Amino acid sequence: MPANTLTDLISQARNAAPYTVRDRGPHFEPQYLPKRAAAMRSLNLKASFLPRLFDKNGRMISAPIGMPAGEKIALDAAVVAASRVAQAGAHVLIRDDQLRATPIGTDKGVVMADVLSTFSTIEPAIFSDVADDADVAVTAALPMHRATMDWSTAQGVAVRFEVPRSTLKDYDQELFSNELLLALGLGLGRAADRLMLAAVAAATPAPFSLAAAAAQGLKAGELRALIGTSAAGAAFRADGQLTAAGIDAELTADMAGTLVGAWDRAAIAISNDVHLLAERTAKNGTLAVTAWAHMIPMLLDSSKFWSVA
């Protein structure tokens, strides 16, 4: 399994010099210019793998739920597994940089162009009865919905931890890095949920009813509910299944209300590279670790979502 990027990052930051040496030539003392004692890396979600965590005696103390023996799980899969909106049916898209080298002219010149991607959903085209020789009425709307992944409009998300020197001293550094990697993967799933749920809530969905869902042409199996911290409409069936307004549901801490929808009509794109910065912030050896990512929530058809009172 590839080495954890965080292990190398933290090690470099702990040993980084707080200055840069500037050679001023013969017969002159070098000049010491202060700088941050820091290191920076990019964490590739598709190329990074979840570690199996073992204690000092070689016993496994943690592993992702459902990990088959001898199998590696990429970090992007962990992000999807951690997302409640993904489990409800929403698409989580881990996207690479969209910059592409495009040839121009006849002298083999190249320009870097931002090639935008799109996410689309297609609904049934509604046919109507028509009499012989009669004109066909124009349908009000096309049965396709499309959203563009424009990373210039992406929402940045970040998290920062301060790690005391005592923690780094008492903790096995590789174990600490592996646990932090797991936490970042789970946290990206939570961040995706928060942005996607906020996008749905911002569309002010109407109150849910089965009649409204039927009018949208949805099957019962397409509907899922997410129950926020107010637990509006939440109840358990006799078989133990959590529901909201009779729809199979799951809990989330990333909103207050309760939403029902056909979540496969929504998607959230996550940048493939998560930027990591580790820096010593004090003379006592305290280390700050910061992670940044970018996301684009895409709600293509808000009429497929409702609120539950």
Q: What are 67-123's pLDDT values in tens digits? A: 454 456 778 888 988 899 999 999 999 887 666 666 776 666 776 666 677 888 888
Within a domain: 141: no
Q: Does residue 111 sit within a domain?
A: no
Determine the pLDDT at residue 60: 46
User: Which has more confidence, 5 or 19?
Assistant: 5
**Is 76 a member of any domain?**
yes
Residue 261 forms part of a structural domain: yes
Supply the DSSP symbol for 304: G
Distance CA 91, CA 94 (A): 10
**Dihedrals phi, psi of 151, to nearest 5 degrees:** -70, -15
Structural domain total, the chain:
1
Cα 214 → chain centroid: 31
| Per-residue pLDDT at 61 | 52
Task: Please check whether residue 112 lies inside any domain of the structure.
Answer: no
User: In a 10 Å sphere around its CB, with 0-12 CB exposed, 13-18 middle and 19+ buried, how is residue 181 labelled?
Assistant: buried
Higher pLDDT, 285 or 160: 160
**pLDDT (0 to 100) of residue 1:** 46
pLDDT tens digits for range 273-293: 999 999 988 777 788 999 999
Angle, nearest 10°, between helix axes 5-15 and 173-202?
Answer: 110
182 close to 50: Cβ distance less than 8 angstroms: yes
Cβ proximity of 274 and 46 under 8 Å? no
Write down the number of H helices and E strands in the chain.
6, 20
- 4-8, 136-140, 254-258, 287-291: which has the highest mean pLDDT? 254-258
Q: What is the pLDDT of residue 174?
A: 81
Give me the pLDDT at residue 270, please: 94
Question: Quick one: pLDDT at residue 216?
Answer: 94
198: pLDDT strictly greater than 90: yes
| 14-28, 29-43, 213-227: which is most confident | 213-227
| CA dist., res. 54 & res. 206, Å (int) | 49
Domain annotation covers residue 108? no
| Domain annotation covers residue 114 | no
Structure tokens, 233: 């409409």
Determine the pLDDT at residue 21. 72
State the average pLDDT over residues 260-285.
90
Average pLDDT, the chain: 85
What pLDDT is attached to residue 106?
Answer: 67
Q: b/e map of 275-305 (b: 16 or more CB within 10 Å)?
A: bbbbbbeeeeebbbbbbebbbbbbbbebebb
Highest average pLDDT, of 76-80, 97-101, 141-145, 191-195, comes from 191-195
- Report the pLDDT value the prediction gives residue 232, as an integer from 0 to 100: 96
pLDDT at 263 over 80: yes
Could you tell me the pTM of the whole model? 0.82
- Angle, helices 75-82/173-202, rounded to nearest 10 degrees: 50
Residue 75 domain-assigned (yes or no): yes
Distances (CA, A) of 198 to 242, 260, 264: 22, 14, 16
Across the strands, what pairs with 234?
244
Query: Domain range for residue 196?
Result: 5-20+31-93+155-308
